[in-house]
């Protein structure tokens, strides 16, 4: 609608043929239109196409209030924020109304008195859909006054009005969200007595304040979010409130590596200069996702708490920055990320996982290193054959040349700060390493072959075929027995 042609008074609005509708009906109508036209109002949400989104669309078509239930980092809040795409671009309201009264169906005393005084000349304003979104994090200190409102005695005294006059109310966030989306995050953290205050609003659509006879039939689309662990660890949703929330939708983590990579790459904040100057091979993107998947299956990690997608997002950002730091210190124009750079993402892991008692005993750093090691082993076995099975096989062991080279007493040190050319030459000194990668992956680029060579060394160490020792700014690979003796000597 052209701005100049938009009705500016109640009379003009009535002549335009405007028909009021509830926000739930408005969202339903716009979703129907989106489904019929094949448009996607949930851009950027991946992995939910066959699970969460169909249930969400069903709930919207049913004009339900909704709770999104899932572990941390499962895009619950992001989904809620995208729901504004299902609102009309603009809606009219009576100018000056705190609760955006519909001009045709006013509910506040202010709006009704304004219309009674001015009639068809009542001024109309327009509310953009971006402004029709309110969000509140449920914390134990949230009060009824914060959510619903309270009587303002100063306003009552100044206006010489009785406390049961609607004009003395100081509205909370929910009345101010009339005709809007209201999202309440982490619902179980809300104290039970505060949850009770939501009963009437959800069921009858009205609100009551301090026992006075107020009745304000609000029109709000409620979206709640909650983590299942909250039901036992921090709080709970009182049963009558759960009963009043029409649809409960369960979210989940990405089910495949490809979907997980899509989410991580979309959400990671990588600068343009980093993307331009730092090459991150696909294998490293896979490795980051494997770390998260290992964490979600680890006995040391609290699975009820979950492992957020923020772990992989932060890890990818740290991976780029680890490689960038090397590039800057070496005064290079470009560089390539390496397997060893993955160990630079430890801070992204230690702060993102909740450990059980056994994990706490092990220590956050050791748990993180263990998860990285398991992820490397998993990826190695996806790319290469199992060394133990190769030993038992009647065919020639593909790793024999490499292992024999180390058994002859040779070692190789991969330094994290070495330049890319030196790093490649270091790996090529290992007899049979480059040949094995070239034979198995002849069509891969030189950069991918470099990563595969490094993965091969780390993978053999994770499969107990080689010894890997932390040294200053890098790792030293040697045969297994010399590594054992070195470990015994270091212990002494």
Structure confidence by residue, pLDDT tens digits, 419-476: 999 999 999 999 999 999 999 999 998 889 999 999 999 999 999 999 998 877 888 9
Q: Which two tokens stand for residue 229?
A: 């662990």
pLDDT given for residue 1 in this prediction: 42
pTM of the model as a whole: 0.85
Beta partners for 170?
150
pLDDT given for residue 375 in this prediction: 95
Confidence of residue 488 (pLDDT cuts 50, 70, 90): very low
CA–CA dist 180, 19 (Å, integer): 17
pLDDT beyond 80 at 228: no
CA angle 367, 373, 374 (to 5 degrees): 90
pLDDT beyond 60 at 234: no
Average pLDDT, the chain: 88
Q: Which of 153-157, 199-203, 369-373 has the lowest mean pLDDT?
A: 153-157
CA–CA dist 304, 230 (Å, integer): 9
For the chain, what is the largest distance between any 2 Cα atoms, rounded to a whole number of angstroms?
99
Contact 469, 486 (CB under 8 A): yes
pLDDT given for residue 454 in this prediction: 94
CA–CA dist 204, 237 (Å, integer): 19
Confidence of residue 179 (pLDDT cuts 50, 70, 90): very high
- Close Cβ partners of 341 (under 8 Å, ≥ 6 residues apart): 284, 319, 322, 323, 326, 416
Q: Which of 236-250, 270-284, 333-347, 472-486 has the lowest mean pLDDT?
A: 472-486
pLDDT given for residue 294 in this prediction: 94
Residue with tokens 């070239």: 438
Whole-number Cα distances in Å, 394 to 10, 388, 464: 89, 12, 21
Per the model's pLDDT, the better-predicted residue between 104 and 163 turns out to be 104
CA–CA dist 25, 28 (Å, integer): 5
pLDDT given for residue 326 in this prediction: 94
Q: Which helix (H) or strand (E) holds 481?
A: helix 480-491
Confidence of residue 160 (pLDDT cuts 50, 70, 90): low
User: Residue 54's CB: how many other CB atoms inside 10 A?
Assistant: 12
pLDDT beyond 60 at 232: no
pLDDT digits (tens, 9 = 90+) for 94-151: 999 999 999 999 988 889 999 999 999 999 999 999 999 999 998 888 888 888 877 6
pLDDT digits (tens, 9 = 90+) for 349-381: 988 888 888 888 888 889 999 999 999 999 999
pLDDT given for residue 2 in this prediction: 47
| Residue among 88, 89, 81 nearest 43 (CA) | 81
pLDDT given for residue 213 in this prediction: 62
CA angle 332, 337, 338 (to 5 degrees): 120
CA–CA dist 340, 451 (Å, integer): 10
CA–CA dist 263, 298 (Å, integer): 22
CA 417 to mean position of chain CA atoms: 33
Per the model's pLDDT, the better-predicted residue between 35 and 108 turns out to be 35
């Amino acid at each position: 609608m052209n701005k100049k042609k938009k009705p500016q008074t109640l009379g003009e609005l009535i002549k335009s043929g405007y028909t009021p509708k509830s926000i739930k009906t408005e969202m339903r109508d716009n979703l129907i239109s989106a489904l019929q036209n094949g448009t996607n109002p949930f851009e950027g949400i991946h992995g939910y196409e066959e699970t969460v989104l169909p249930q969400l669309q069903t709930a919207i078509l049913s004009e339900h209030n909704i709770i999104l239930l899932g572990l941390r980092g499962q895009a619950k809040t992001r989904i809620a924020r995208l729901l504004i795409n299902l609102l009309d671009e603009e809606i009219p309201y009576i100018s000056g109304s705190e609760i955006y009264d519909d001009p045709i169906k006013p509910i506040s005393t202010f709006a009704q008195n304004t219309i009674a005084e001015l009639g068809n000349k009542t001024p109309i304003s327009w509310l953009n859909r971006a402004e029709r979104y309110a969000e509140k994090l449920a914390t134990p200190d949230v009060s009824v006054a914060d959510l619903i409102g309270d009587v303002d005695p100063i306003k009552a005294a100044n206006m010489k009005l009785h406390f049961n006059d609607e004009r003395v109310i100081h509205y909370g966030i929910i009345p101010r969200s009339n005709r809007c989306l209201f999202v309440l995050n982490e619902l179980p953290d809300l104290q039970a007595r505060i949850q009770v205050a939501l009963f009437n609003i959800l069921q009858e659509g009205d609100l009551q304040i301090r026992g006075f006879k107020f009745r304000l039939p609000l029109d709000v689309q409620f979206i709640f979010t909650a983590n299942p662990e909250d039901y036992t660890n921090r709080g709970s949703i009182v049963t009558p409130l759960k009963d009043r929330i029409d649809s409960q939708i369960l979210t989940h983590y990405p089910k495949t590596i490809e979907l997980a990579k899509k989410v991580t790459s979309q959400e990671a904040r990588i600068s343009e200069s980093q993307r331009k100057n730092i090459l991150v091979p696909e294998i490293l993107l896979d490795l980051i996702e494997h770390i998260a998947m290992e964490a979600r299956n680890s006995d040391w990690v609290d699975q009820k708490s979950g492992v957020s997608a923020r772990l992989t997002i932060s890890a990818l950002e740290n991976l780029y920055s680890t490689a960038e730091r090397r590039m800057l210190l070496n005064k290079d124009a470009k560089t390539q990320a390496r397997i060893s750079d993955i160990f630079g993402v430890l801070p992204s892991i230690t702060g993102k996982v909740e450990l059980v008692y056994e994990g706490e005993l092990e220590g956050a750093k050791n748990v993180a290193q263990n998860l990285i090691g398991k992820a490397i082993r998993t990826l190695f076995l996806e790319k290469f054959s199992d060394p133990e099975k190769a030993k038992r096989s009647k065919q020639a062991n593909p790793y024999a040349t490499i292992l024999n080279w180390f058994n002859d007493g040779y070692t190789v040190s991969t330094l994290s700060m070495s330049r890319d050319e030196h790093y490649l030459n270091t790996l090529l000194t290992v007899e049979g390493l480059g040949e094995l990668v070239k034979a198995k992956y002849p069509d891969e680029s030189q950069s991918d072959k470099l990563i595969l060579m490094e993965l091969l060394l780390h993978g053999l160490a994770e499969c107990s075929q080689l010894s890997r020792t932390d040294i200053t700014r890098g790792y030293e690979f040697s045969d297994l027995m010399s590594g054992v003796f070195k470990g015994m000597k270091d212990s002494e």
